[in-house]
Structure 1
Amino acid sequence: MPTLIKDKFEAWEKEAQDRFNQLKANEEELNKIFIDLYGLQDELDYHVEDKDVSVSLADRERDIKSLISYAVGCMFGRYSLDEEGLVFAGGQFDMRHYSKFKPDADNILLLTDDEYFQNDESDITNKFVNFVSVVYGKETLEENLQYIAETLGGSGTSRAVIRKYFISKFFADHLKTYKKRPIYWQFDSGKANGVKALIYLHRYDENLLGHLRTDYLSKLSQAYNGRIELRESQKLASSNPREIAGYDKEIKKIQKQQKELHDFDEKVGHLALKKIALDLDDGVIINYDKLQRDPETNEKFVILTKGVKEP
């Protein structure tokens, strides 16, 4: 049945406010009883300040970001629309737990600053759009995406705003939520955003880096080449100086991303040959560092976003 996220949030907002008001009233009533019992009317005030009430009110931005985080969990199979609670956090991954919404089979989702892979769900924005469609209905998809985008803030289409959030802010929010011990790890080539991709730590295996390199980095490189060729041809066909300047600017940006991707590919290629195994029992801090080190020389190759402290 088609559903508006806006309606769901407003219902939750009312429920949270009612619960907050009731708890505050209960706490104030208990304070009155305590004050009367001990004759402290001249010493204490029974009123409770909002900040001291032990339940939270609804917060649109926080709650929409929580929805996005849950969606990412479903994309990787941590959660399932078919079962309640935590579904996978290690062991043998089983696709039979997921029928309504399939998690990514490869445990790799690309974060790009533009739509290079239309309808390809290896792109996290495309995967998220599909999640919203599956959960809330195709009929309300555009309205729901717009509501999410308005909540996140920014200019452009709803998909562009959501894409920008994923590439520039999602991991920072995730780090904060998990107190710098993330369960979703972000591959990161550098400031130009030549390569960004998320994986789920609990589904990592020693072949993942090789898979990232051969199937994803090569695909991204081809996409960059194709976009440059397109812009070059558009530039030649245009007589508008403003258009030409725009094409030149985009070409230069992508060329920087290509260079960054090339350097990143060399690092990943080196580490992929080492078949690095991780032990979840060692914890995030140890493993985050381990994945970026040559196990033979201990040389570090930075391929993950900074933010997790050194062991």
Structure 2
Amino acid sequence: MATLLQDKYEARKAEVNARFEQLRANEEELNRIFAKIYNMEGEVPIEVEDKYVSVARIFDTADEIPESYKGNKYVRTKRDEITSLLSYAVGCMFGRYSLDVDGLVLADQGTTVDDYLAKMPDPAHVTFMPDADNVLPITDDEYFDDDIVRYFIDFVRTVYGEETLERNLAFIAEALGGKGTSREVIRTCFLKDFYKDHCQTYKKRPIYWLFDSGKKNGFKCLVYMHRYQPDLLARIRTDYVHEQQERYRAQIGYANDALVSAERGERVRLDKRIKKLNDQLKETIAYEEKLHHLADQMIKIDLDDGVKVNYAKFQDVLAKIK
């Protein structure tokens, strides 16, 4: 049955905020009881300030958060809730989570899609399949079949239904904020904000790693560290970066051909596009050399060493954690 994400959000907000007020009421009642026991009624505060209630409270926007809540680390906004949805969706794309079973699914070193299927109640009928090769490309346009935005839209369609897909994507985009169509806003979020939010959630110890060619967004992809295999970098290089370079060359060729008969205004647009594509191609060529150097080493990791140690082994090709 088709479902509106906005309705789900409003229901969650009501539940979370009711829990917030219930905890406050419980704490104030305890204060009254102890004040009475120790004969301190009228001498100690009974009311619990907003910033000291230690469960979540949701506001639609940051502008709606009253001053009295400042300092409460549990306060959340609609954007925070949607960011959590994106994170859960990516977890399903990697097989860390599943729509078919509760809890963690793939969380051991070197696990594969076969391991995922083995944990399903009906392996022949899985609601949402994780990505086969543990590589989710993030580019400024849809170049790959497993493009992360396309995959996310499939997730929303699967969970909430085809009938409400566009309305749900619009709700997600409105919560994230930004310019453009719903899909453009979501793509921008994955390009610019998702990894920063992920690193913040995991206290600078990310479990999804961002391979990043640089500021021109020539090529980015997410991988799940628990599914890492020593040949992963070689596959990223040959199956994705090389393919992306060929697409850039093709796009540059098409744009140059179009310049021949383009009007003045169109020529300006095409010149900008050609420059951008050339910059991205140049960036990916330099990045491919770094990947090649590391891929040839077939580096192994040990999850017991922790994220910091393992991440450092690939620091030349991974996004910097700020």
TM over 0.5: yes
Partner of 2:192: 168
Give distance in 2, aligned partners of 1:89 and 1:249.
44
**Structure 2 counterpart of 1:201, one-letter code:** M
Q: Distance in 2 between matches of 1:3 and 1:229?
A: 44
Question: 168-177 or 54-63: which moved more?
Answer: 54-63
Distance (Å, rounded) in 2 between the aligned partners of 1:231 and 1:162: 26
Shift of 1:50: 1.4
Shift of the alpha carbon at 1:231?
A: 2.1
Q: Distance in 2 between matches of 1:126 and 1:236?
A: 34
Which residue is equivalent to 2:26?
A: 26
Alignment of 1:27-66 (within 5 A): 27-58=27-58, 59-66=77-84
Q: Hey, what does 1:295 align to over in structure 2? A: none
Alignment partner of 2:299 out of 276, 287, 301: 276
Q: By how many angstroms is 1:235 displaced?
A: 2.6
- Name 2:134's counterpart in structure 1: 107
- Could you tell me how far apart the structure 1 residues matched to 2:246 and 2:152 are? 23
- What is the number of equivalent residue pairs in this alignment? 295
**Cα distance between partner residues in 1 of 2:308 and 2:19:** 38
CA drift at 1:272: 1.0
Aligned residues with identical type, % of pairs: 52
Name the counterpart of 2:101: 83
Deviation at 1:30, TM superposition (A): 1.4
User: 2:175 is matched by which residue type in structure 1?
Assistant: T
- Residues 190-222 of structure 1, C-alpha deviations (whole Å, 9 max, x = no match): 111111111000000001111111111121112
- Taking structure 1 as the reference length, what is the TM-score of the superposition? 0.91
Normalising by structure 2, report the TM-score.
0.88
- The yes-or-no answer on 1:74 pairing with 2:85 is no
Alpha-carbon distance in 1 for matches of 2:165, 2:254: 30
Alpha-carbon displacement from aligned partner over 1:279-299 (angstroms, at most 9, x marks no partner)? 11111111111235xxxxxxx
Is contact 2:79–2:175 with CA below 8 Å preserved after alignment? yes
Q: Is the 8 A contact 2:234 2:292 kept in 1?
A: yes
* Long gaps (5+) in structure 1: 293-301
Q: Give secondary structure in 2 for the equivalent of 1:228.
A: helix
What is the identity, as a one-letter code, of the residue corresponding to 1:256?
Answer: D
Contact 2:170 2:182 in 1 (8 A): yes
Name the amino acid aligned to 2:210: Q
**Cα distance between partner residues in 2 of 1:31 and 1:44:** 8
Match of 2:253 among 229, 236, 247: 229
Tell me the equivalent position of 2:66: none
- Distance in 2 separating the partners of 1:20 and 1:38: 27
Deviation, 1:224, is 1.2
Partner residue of 2:319?
305
**CA deviation vs aligned residue, 1:18-43 (integer Å, no higher than 9, x gap):** 11112211111111122122221231
